[in-house]
Structure 1
């Protein structure tokens, strides 16, 4: 039987992240985003104090870039000092964003903070606040940004502790949405003999296994529209028998959201305006007093579809939404509409048009056929965008698009083509 204890598992702090890519952002939004990773770090310190955690594990990418900013290093030093002053020890590994090779200021870690090196897997005893040995904590840092070795295979359990926690920044089972650094297999972690794998690198929180626990805490603050919803850390309590209870703590200062808004049943722009504002106010109500950056995904079939596909219409809606919602300086719980993605469909279904004889039917049949196969969709778009593909950056961007995205473009182009061809035909009929 062991001694009950509590630890906090966090990762991917990405302190001082620059939040690139947002356009026409007011100063209040830009500054709140710039400070958000530090605010999340402060909230982490509060959780450590409130939960009376015995220790904290930070699973890599504490900083956003290898050459850490002085501001980020000083803020982290202060936060770690607060955690250790509350009685918790802190164990750290560095990942691909903050490897040992990065430029660092000469600062001293507070007493009670342990950073694992990159030469070998270290093993450090962890104690409860009363001084009882509760676990061995193991870890290894990245020497350089790109580590392609399977670091998990280097972890070997050392007897002498009732609980064994492995701290690792890695890609388990080759998640394609993240760089394949320190690749390993879930089965390797499960059969290694450790009780808990505290993972970093993947920004979505995931429990890959229980007993033994293999856990991604995710990042603490979303940094783009790809990182939506609550972000934070796990508070993990272990009882005398080794049973584990996990609680997720949402620490994000700014929320990123993608919300669907359907155009079905709408006949006017006023109806769309009302529905958009209602959806955004619902986001405000769910944010718990925090600001939100929101991408709107228009979907469904309706009469407004063709108007939404007209040049610059989505941009005009975004500009007006920002006006209607007011200046972010006026409230802490502001909403900033980041963009509108039009994924709607027309009243007329392309499948029905494809059954028609003549040029329009043949056009639609060929386009729909291309959406069924990845190679066909790529070939069709390559042909349609031959001139644009001469630009290297545009070509690279096009080649990185998924089959689903290419198919969506083809469908939208087909629907717009049907609309324009029928308008032209009807106009010709009227003139005759």
Structure 2
């Protein structure tokens, strides 16, 4: 606990990625594309509404407010209006910029309203944060990225300045080397915990995470998911600090469009109609989970059953996706639409590969060799490199393949074995 004489509330947000282009979507209707393109701005308005509703004393934004270093004019103008709305209520705003929106990026010459402070990149600054009645509530510290790729440990530059009852550090960084994010401004949790600050408001990682309490080290996550890798609710933390120094945190979901993944089992199914019914039921559950918001859903088929071999046939998964889209109706016909993003097949056949591997003959030998690669990382890597030799000539594809884990490679090999087995048995039967 800490000695705090002024109770106050602040909102911690990060990774707004305003005007994100949502690349890579194919065969998407205009209604889906338009809603996605506007979603980051809708989430921004949700942030404004939270600040107003909670009567927050100040707002901290932990980097990547914009999606690109050369910020779109549209995004800059919308953010300016949002800052005007927030500061008109007497709420201060403190901003750092990260790898997506560094100082070196092209910016329009716009004036931020009084009450907004952007931290520069020359060094860590300390600024006073006041409650709405004018009392000093905290010192807020921050530093922005000068360029997109910052590999220095910026956390080591933070030094607490006495004179305030609470100290809040604002940083865009990768704590303890999260492999799913670029290792920018790398630092260690122990370094943050021992630096003397009461709250580290972090950005960069798009999942909300409370890494530690007292002192608090927190990722608020982004405010709007941008792909199927960013599923579920997205939003901000409302943080209230009491007179005694206790910290109460409440997450508020402000995402305008949800990305979801739902799992459907094929076990016990032997007819396509039964599978269709199960798929539609799962998507209806996703619609309910979205609570009136539109959502893009990836269906993951799992389990073992007689449908497995049929699902492995060329283009079958894509045909199921098209049928689901037609069955659910056009997105423009309803506000809370569900758009099936894709179907991923991770099923297995009723005959286990391990049992077939004990058989004599070509199929048994094929499965035995394949399973050996599944169980050995060196063999799985070598087998896939041999199978994908032509693709390895493309630098970006080679980089992506080399980054796959053994578990991913093993899954691919198992699927290839089951498909090969299915094709060989079809040929024998013919």
Q: TM-score range by the shorter chain?
A: over 0.9
TM-score by length of 1: 0.97
SS of the residue aligned with 1:341? strand
Give the 3-state SS of the residue equivalent to 2:407 in structure 1.
helix
Q: Secondary structure at the match of 2:345?
A: strand
2: distance between equivalents of 1:423 and 1:17?
Answer: 47
Count of residues in Structure 1 that have an aligned counterpart in Structure 2: 427
Deviation at 1:398, TM superposition (A): 2.6
The CA deviation at 1:383 is 1.7
Displacement of 1:393 in angstroms is: 4.5
**Residues 1:384 and 2:383 are matched in the alignment:** no
1:2 aligns with 2:5: yes
Change (3 A) 1:213 1:392: closer
Give 2:405's aligned residue. Answer: 402
**Residues in 2 aligned to 1:424 and 1:151: alpha-carbon distance in whole angstroms:** 62
Closer/same/farther in 2, CA of residues 186 and 391 from structure 1, 3 Å limit: closer
Q: After superposition, where does 1:242-391 map in structure 2 within 5 Å?
A: 242-391=245-394
**Structure 1: distance between partners of 2:167 and 2:272:** 60
Provide the aligned C-alpha RMSD in A. Answer: 1.0
Which of 414, 418, 427 aligns to 1:415? It is 418
SS in structure 2 at match of 1:220? coil
Unaligned runs of 5+ in 2: none
Stretches of structure 1 lacking an aligned partner (at least 5 in a row): 428-432
Aligned to 1:430: none
Question: Distance in 2 between the 1:392 and 1:77 partners?
Answer: 41
| Cα distance per residue 1:69-96 (max 9 Å; x no partner) | 0000000000011111122100000000
Match of 1:82 among 66, 81, 85: 85
Aligned to 1:25: 28
Q: Tell whether 2:172 aligns with 1:169.
A: yes
Alignment of 1:147-166 (within 5 A): 147-166=150-169
- Residue equivalent to 1:233: 236
Partners of 1:137 and 1:395 in 2: CA distance: 44
1:215 to 200, 207, 218: 218
Say whether 1:67 aligns with 2:101: no
The separation in 1 between residues aligned to 2:43 and 2:89, in whole angstroms, is 18
Question: What's the counterpart of residue 16 of structure 2?
Answer: 13
Query: How far does residue 405 in structure 1 lie from its aligned partner after superposition?
Result: 1.8
Cα separation, 2, equivalents of 1:295 and 1:91: 37
Distance in 2, Cα, partners of 1:302 & 1:247 = 43
* 143-152 vs 373-382, which moves further: 373-382
In the TM superposition, residue 109 of structure 1 has moved relative to its aligned partner by 0.4
SS of residue matched to 2:347: strand
Q: Tell me the secondary structure at the aligned position of residue 344 of structure 1.
A: coil
Mapped partners of 2:397, 2:170: distance in 1: 40
